[in-house]
């Protein structure tokens, strides 16, 4: 399996699949927001940013998968998945244990050099309450599902990182 992951990480298809899964999840989030009318909270917006990081890692890795740029893609992937897992866990704890002293911010705080809420307000402006459970599927709320998704991304990323020293076997047509 590790040899397969190593071989896959050296091709564009796996990296593009990573980017496409993150893009699909972003589109689902926008559908929840704009079609179903669910208002994203600040934690949701931060989780979206982590998902955009996973998508960016897929794009970086797909640019030149046989070069050291693959390592940058792996690091971005691991960092984004870890941050997404951390944020979705924190969001889940806010929902499961509501406390008037532990709340999320009213607006997302982006750096001055990257004001995403000003550039794309329909994607990055928060208007919901972090403690509100507006949607659930199979008894899990949205941040709980995001924990599952980010954990899966992180596990696959760590396995891909561990697989890097395992070179694929050369298969010869006629063995001696």
48 counts as catalytic: yes
Q: Catalytic pick from 49, 109, 130, 170? A: 130
Question: Cβ neighbours of residue 2 under 8 Å, at least 6 residues apart?
Answer: 159, 162, 163, 166
- For residues 130 and 45, give the distance between their C-alpha atoms in angstroms, rounded to a whole number: 11
3-state secondary structure of 141: strand
Max CA pair span of the chain: 73
Q: Catalytic pick from 44, 86, 133, 176? A: 44
Instruction: Return the sign of the alpha-carbon dihedral for residues 153, 56, 145, 93.
Output: positive
Q: Catalytic pick from 41, 109, 133, 176? A: 41
Q: Catalytic pick from 3, 12, 48, 171? A: 48
109 counts as catalytic: no
Q: Catalytic pick from 70, 104, 133, 171? A: 104
49 counts as catalytic: no
- Known catalytic residues? 41, 44, 48, 104, 130
């Amino acid at each position: 399996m590790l040899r397969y992951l190593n071989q896959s990480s050296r091709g564009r298809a796996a990296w593009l699949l990573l980017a496409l899964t993150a893009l699909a999840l972003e589109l689902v989030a926008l559908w929840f927001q704009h079609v179903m009318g669910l208002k994203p909270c600040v934690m949701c917006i931060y989780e979206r940013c982590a998902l955009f990081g996973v998508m960016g890692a897929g794009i970086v890795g797909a640019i030149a998968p046989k070069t050291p740029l693959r390592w940058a893609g792996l690091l971005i992937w691991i960092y984004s998945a870890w941050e997404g897992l951390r944020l979705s866990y924190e969001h889940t704890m806010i929902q499961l244990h509501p406390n008037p002293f532990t709340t999320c911010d009213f607006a997302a705080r982006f750096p001055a050099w990257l004001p995403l809420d000003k550039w794309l307000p329909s994607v990055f402006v928060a208007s919901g309450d972090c403690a509100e459970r507006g949607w659930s599927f199979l008894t899990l709320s949205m941040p709980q599902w995001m924990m599952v998704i980010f954990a899966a991304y992180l596990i696959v990323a760590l396995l891909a990182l561990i697989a890097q020293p395992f070179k694929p076997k050369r298969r010869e047509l006629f063995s001696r």
